[in-house]
Amino acid sequence: MQKFQDKVEVILDALPYIRKFQDAIVVIKYGGSAMIDPRLKRNVARDVALLNYIGMKPVVVHGGGKEINSWLDKVGKKAEFAPNGLRVTDKETMEIAEMVLGRIGKEIVELLHREGETKAVSLSGKDAGLFVAEKLQSDYDLGFVGEIKTVNAEVVRGLLEKGFIPVISSVAMSRTGETYNVNADIAACKIAKELEAAKLYLMTDVDGVLDSDKQLIQRLNKKKAEELIENKIISGGMIPKIKSALDVLSIGVKSVHIINGTVEHSLLLETLTSTGIGTMVTLD
Ligand SMILES: Nc1ncnc2c1ncn2[C@@H]1O[C@H](COP(=O)(O)OP(=O)(O)O)[C@@H](O)[C@H]1O
Ligand SMILES: CC(=O)N[C@@H](CCC(=O)OP(=O)(O)O)C(=O)O
């Protein structure tokens, strides 16, 4: 009986959030460790489907860096990353990345179908001019790494209107038809901004942003985030996440949530509880 009572309380607590986010577009960047473990993969798919059932409009943007590494290894190529965390992408690596990310997109569609009976459509940034990119200019030659210049989200809006869940990979195309590799966190931020999503979730392998004592910071504003970067408390892969999160925050996108994809139901707990589970980044 107590267990039943607990469940009822969870549902009652969630109700205001369910009402608040009716028809809200939410962008979920899915990647990292949560993408490797089959149990976690099913879990994430169930959570995304559930958000869809309760009236939100999820858009999934996925990475797959670890799987690209393992396929490069299989063909005897060494994965190489620049100091800014971006993959050095020659022609062959680009082909492998595009194949792997395409396959991952279809796998997410399968999971959403199997775990949540939802209809999803996977596409890359090349489809319908979604991400138009140019070669990224940097001190270090990264090859076919692109910088997204324009986002045309018409196709995504169309899918959402028809009730499909868009599943997007971070492969982009230039105006002249060249294929470019884009970091999936950056791609997720770009699409969230263009869609004026209510929320953006960046899934990773830690509980959120940690302070100098390794304690979770539940709420982080722009000023504090900049301080933490300055003091090197935020470092490595968390820097591009936070920098692009700050860039995305605007009138449209009110909060970016850094959550642990390896914790069961982190997406639901972050969305439907008052305290959340990860770090919520806001402007002020
Ligand atoms: N202040 C911080 N709080 C949390 N993680 C941090 C912090 N500074 C650096 N990191 C590192 O950032 C990593 C997450 O970035 P990254 O590995 O690129 O994520 P993913 O591959 O999951 O997208 C964490 O595993 C952690 O090692
Ligand atoms: C340019 C660049 O670095 N592209 C990334 C794209 C995939 C990605 O970002 O995957 P995760 O989110 O799982 O790390 C790469 O090739 O690994």
> Which amino acid is located at 42 in the chain?
R
Residue 106 counted as domain residue: yes
Q: What is the pLDDT of residue 111?
A: 96
The more confident residue out of 50 and 35 is 50
DSSP H helix total and E strand total for the chain: 9, 12
Number of domains in the chain: 1
- Is the ipTM reported for this complex over the cut 0.90? yes
Domain that holds residue 173: 27-282
Residue 13 counted as domain residue: no
Q: What is the pLDDT of residue 1?
A: 60
Does residue 6 carry a pLDDT above 90? no
Average pLDDT on 150-164 reads 97
Ligand 2 proximity of 184 Cβ (cutoff 6 Å): yes
**Dist. CA 66 → ligand 1 center (Å):** 15
Q: Is 183 helix (H, G, I), strand (E, B) or coil?
A: coil
| Among the bound ligands, the one closest to the CA of 184 | 2
Bridge-based pairing state of the strands 279-282 and 255-260: antiparallel
Mutate to test the pocket of ligand 1, among 185, 206, 244 (most ligand atoms within 8 A of CB): 206
Residue 209 counted as domain residue: yes
Q: Please give the model's pTM, rounded to 2 decimal places.
A: 0.93
Residue 15 counted as domain residue: no
Separation of alpha carbons 147 and 176, rounded Å: 14
- Give tens-digit pLDDT for 130-140: 999 999 999 88
Q: What is the pLDDT of residue 33?
A: 73
- Give tens-digit pLDDT for 97-126: 999 999 999 999 999 999 998 999 999 999
Residue 7 counted as domain residue: no
Lowest mean pLDDT among 14-23, 49-58, 192-201, 216-225: 14-23
Residue 14 counted as domain residue: no
Nearest-atom number in ligand 1 for the CA of 261 is: 22
| Among the bound ligands, the one closest to the CA of 33 | 1
Average pLDDT on 80-97 reads 94
What is the domain-level CATH number for residue 262? 3.40.1160.10
Helix (H) or strand (E) holding 155: helix 154-161
Give Dmax (Cα) for the chain: 64
Averaged pLDDT score across all residues of the chain: 93
The more confident residue out of 146 and 264 is 146
Mutate to test the pocket of ligand 1, among 214, 234, 238 (most ligand atoms within 8 A of CB): 238
| Among the bound ligands, the one closest to the CA of 105 | 2
Residue 119 counted as domain residue: yes
Tokens of 59: 């858009």
Q: Is 97 helix (H, G, I), strand (E, B) or coil?
A: helix
Residue 14 phi, psi (nearest 5):
-75, -25
